[in-house]
Amino acid sequence: MSQTNSKRQSQILIITGMHRSGTSLATSLLHTSGLDVGDYLMSGQFDNIKGHFEDLDFVKFHEEVLASKGISTQGWTTESKIDVPEQFLEQAQSIIEKKQHKFLWGWKDPRTTLFLNFWQTFLPNAKFLFIYRSPWEVIDSLYRRGDGAFLKNPNLAIDLWCSYNEIILDFCNQNPESCLLSDIDHIIHNDQSFLEEIQQKFGIPLQPNQLSKIYNPSLFNNSKLGKHRPTIIQTHFPKAIEIYQKLNQNCTNILSNYKSDCNGRNSPFSNYQSWVLQDWLNLRQKERELKQIETELEQTQTELEKSQSQIYHYQVQLKEAQTTIIAMETSKFWKLRKLWFKCKNLLKSQLYVHYLNQLKLVIFLSLKYGIPDTIQRLRQDYKIPLSDDINYQKWLALHYPKKSDLMAMAEKLNSLKYQPVISIIMPVFNTPEAFLKESIETVLTQVYPHWELCIADDASTQRHIRDLLNHYQAQDARIKVIFRPENGHISKTSNSALELATGEYIALLDHDDLLTPDALYQVVKFLNQTPEADMIYSDEDKINEEGKLQDPYFKPDWCPDSFLSRMYTNHLGIYRHQLIQEIGGFREGYEGSQDYDLVLRLTEKTDQIFHLPKILYHWRIHPNSTAENLSSKNYATEAAKKALEDALKRREEKGKIVPVEGGHHIIRYEVKDPDLVSIIIPTKNLGNVLNTCLKSIFEKTTYPHYEVLVIDNGSTEQQTKNIFESWKMREPNRFRYETLDIPFNFSKLNNYGVEQTTGKYLLFLNNDTEVIDNDWLEAMVEQAQRPSIGAVGALLLHQDNTIQHAGVVGGVGGVAGHSHKYYHGESHGYFNQLKTNNNYSAVTAACLMCRREVFQKVGGFEPELAVAFNDVDLCFKMLNQGYKNICVSHVRLYHYESKSRGYDDTPEKQARFSQEVKYMKSKWKEFIEHDPCYNPNLTREREDFTIEI
């Protein structure tokens, strides 16, 4: 190995040191003083919000070498020497070649400490700047990160500090002329002196700068550690103190106050190392927990004060309503008429407007239902339910129907021309008395009056069931009850209840769940607007054992492929009675998922399926309910699998049902014909990035019939061209490249690629991706072959295994945004969406497959969208043509994102982006304002599915 030759002699400064020693701070000062530390730097994170200033090329190199040795990619190792395998030498050479044109450059990465001899041999003229920090400060900082390695082994922190700094001392002693050792505390307080020392020792020209412009003292506060931390280290870990003293001795600029820190204290205890650090770690954990609790307590206190004020307001209103009811009970109807005319004179006073509206409603209801029924309705206590979820409580305060809302709905009943009878089906078996009573009461208090409650008791053994049901049946003629002579389970019982039904629509209500008071009114109002509806489903939440609401589920509109992964429509479900009869009602043998089986069969008879984006149903949580824990009823999961297998047979689709976490499933369809897949990859320069992508394709892909076409957008780097030729020789039957040297236009490049290929399936792939799963192409073809499918997307991960893409949501961030961005790759996502297959309005063209015929039918990529939103536009065109787009969760790739093109950081690029935004908002206003695969009650500001308040 030898240093790369260049026409201009580069000056190289390598910055390193133990993790959490202040290397980022020192590098930020050097960067602003003229040292080029890279074009693609690691961004700020929770533990380093100002940024790490780490060149991702070097980070990736170090991580890959460590991984090849079976060592933590973070560098958590005490090995003093790590040899770099020969297969990584070309990668290192490539990184250096990209930098060699720069006059003054370097990089920073704490892991470099583990590779000092390698880089010195590779770059013999390089200079090394080592930053160190006291062991107690580094250990405390590592503990505050909460890394699992230190939670398992607190002593690892001190071992790492010792190992890293011993390596640094040995290297400095062997190479004194090319090394400079500096204490971070000195840099903070003497930044100009620090820069001068570098210039004097290494002859490196740096521009004067002030650390105060980039340094926030609150981010590097050491004083809070107190005097006891150094004492602990001195007493129980003398080796660390010896190393720290050597560092101070070798650092000529040190302003050491080590002795005063340690305070000359000694301890008779010398064998308590483990529990000392464990206590320290525990203390840091408790401090983090306390801070979080204090924040939550402050928020809760604020919400409590608001809620108390709101409760007082409702109590005043309730008192007024009770006074009105008492007056009604002790007077005749015509006195209400007199009161009406008297109240008209009070219209000028805003104080009595709401009171007047109440009296108007009283008269209306009295005329329609009679005084006794009116009194019963007005006695109902319609309070806004409580929730421990602060955001959901805010949403409830805004959207849950108040008494005034319900009164207004009652007034509007006569304006509803279509008022069908809705038959509510309720199977009952040994329901706790309070739950059953509460469930029935939520039907009785519905604003919409044209319903019938059809109850079938499945031979309950508890006496209160019969007594309670007989009581309600006698109270209201709309309640019908049948007592089954023998237990037959839920499917038979539901069918028994169906036999009682005479309504035009069927609603399903579990015997312990609740309806909102406006549920049926909202359904009938929707039916008046959409009379063709054969099935309607609403949003839902859960009610816990304390009677509080939680886990609101704001659902998408009808997404058939999402439904094939999980029964998401669920509650409240409304179905045309005639269709229920045609499919034969519920089937025995599917208990636990009998409603899933019912809807699978019903949706094969109609596509008139609509979503009502309102919370109309409260699903009760108790220890034996599926709402509490789906896995508590394993038979429900097995029944769902059986229902899906039957659905595939009926639809004449071959496939395998695969269970996934959360009690759900994905369908792995059988590939009918393994037709040619044309993989199209636009690129320019950055040969190593492309090489990683190509290597992963050719080494991992098990699908037998594919080709790779690289569209070269005018590469100038010889290394990239060499990589083209190398793969052409290695894969002559599968790889080729074409050159299209035009100003970057993603749409034109890919459209050109389509013209140069013949595959039945097109796969558009970014050059900065890396395949993870061997069967990725099979899994995408499985979906793309289906006639109903337009675009197929994959789950894309950042390098740190957080989500980069899991489907695209219209309207998020202005035009469109990636769902679940920055979720951990192993998380379940919003109601298991990261573990199941889901329809989305769009998927990213960083990895997008479709059939050639679909691509051509919609006109391909739009050339006016050169950079942004071209994939969203393509998917919206497919959606507009009636195709469904899908993101396949079990296809995973890494996506290193925008390495080729860069970022929109110039006026020209920003102007272009503004034009593309304008184009999209003008063309696709409907999908941007209402994404059918996303709920309007969820935020459009972020990608995390939080509630819109």
d(CA 59, CA 109): 7
Q: Name the average pLDDT for the chain.
A: 83
375 plus 451 within the same structural domain: no
86 plus 111 within the same structural domain: yes
d(CA 215, CA 350): 57
d(CA 945, CA 949): 12
Within-domain flag for 439: yes
Within-domain flag for 653: no
Within-domain flag for 641: no
Q: Calculate what percentage of the chain has a pLDDT beyond 70.
A: 79
Write down the pLDDT at residue 661.
Answer: 85
Q: What's the number of domains the chain is made of?
A: 4
Q: Which of 23, 29, 16 is nearest to 191 (CA)?
A: 29
For residue 667, give the 3-state DSSP assignment: strand
Region 595-612: mean pLDDT is 96
431 plus 316 within the same structural domain: no
Q: Write out the DSSP string of 121-144.
A: HH-TT-EEEEEE--HHHHHHHHHH
733 plus 597 within the same structural domain: no
Residue with tokens 């820069």: 195
Asked if the model's pLDDT at residue 419 lies above 50, the reply is yes
Write down the pLDDT at residue 625.
Answer: 57
d(CA 706, CA 366): 74
761 plus 909 within the same structural domain: yes
578 plus 684 within the same structural domain: no
Q: Which residues pair with 887 in a beta bridge?
A: 793, 838
Higher pLDDT residue, 171 or 154?
171
Specify the CATH number for the domain of residue 62. 3.40.50.300
879 neighbors 927 (Cβ within 8 angstroms)? yes
User: pLDDT digits over 5-42, tens only?
Assistant: 444 578 999 999 999 888 988 998 898 888 998 876 75
215 plus 254 within the same structural domain: yes
Specify the CATH number for the domain of residue 482. 3.90.550.10
User: pLDDT digits over 41-92, tens only?
Assistant: 754 443 443 445 788 889 999 999 998 888 888 889 988 788 898 888 988 9
Q: What stretches of 35-88 show up as alpha helix (H) in DSSP? A: 56-68
User: pLDDT digits over 872-917, tens only?
Assistant: 999 999 999 999 999 999 999 999 875 344 455 567 777 888 888 9
Backbone angles phi, psi at 658, to 5 degrees: -115, 120
Residue numbers of the domain that contains 419: 413-629
Q: Which residues pair with 737 in a beta bridge?
A: 710
Within-domain flag for 356: yes
Backbone angles phi, psi at 787, to 5 degrees: -60, -25
Write down the pLDDT at residue 281.
Answer: 52
531 plus 570 within the same structural domain: yes
Within-domain flag for 939: no
398 plus 469 within the same structural domain: no
Within-domain flag for 341: yes
425 plus 358 within the same structural domain: no
For residue 319, give the 3-state DSSP assignment: helix
Backbone angles phi, psi at 514, to 5 degrees: -130, 145
626: tokens are 């599926």
Residues 6+ apart with CB under 8 A from 71: 77, 79, 82
666 neighbors 694 (Cβ within 8 angstroms)? no
Within-domain flag for 871: yes
Backbone angles phi, psi at 576, to 5 degrees: -65, 125
Higher pLDDT residue, 259 or 731?
731
User: pLDDT digits over 230-278, tens only?
Assistant: 555 555 577 888 888 888 888 854 433 333 333 333 333 333 344 445 5
Write down the pLDDT at residue 863.
Answer: 94
**Strand-strand pairing, 505-508 and 422-428:** parallel
Write down the pLDDT at residue 178.
Answer: 94
398 plus 466 within the same structural domain: no
900 neighbors 683 (Cβ within 8 angstroms)? yes
Within-domain flag for 422: yes
User: pLDDT digits over 477-504, tens only?
Assistant: 999 999 999 998 999 999 999 999 999 9
318 neighbors 326 (Cβ within 8 angstroms)? no
183 plus 295 within the same structural domain: no
Residue 949 CB: number of other CB atoms within 10 A? 13
Higher pLDDT residue, 473 or 213?
473
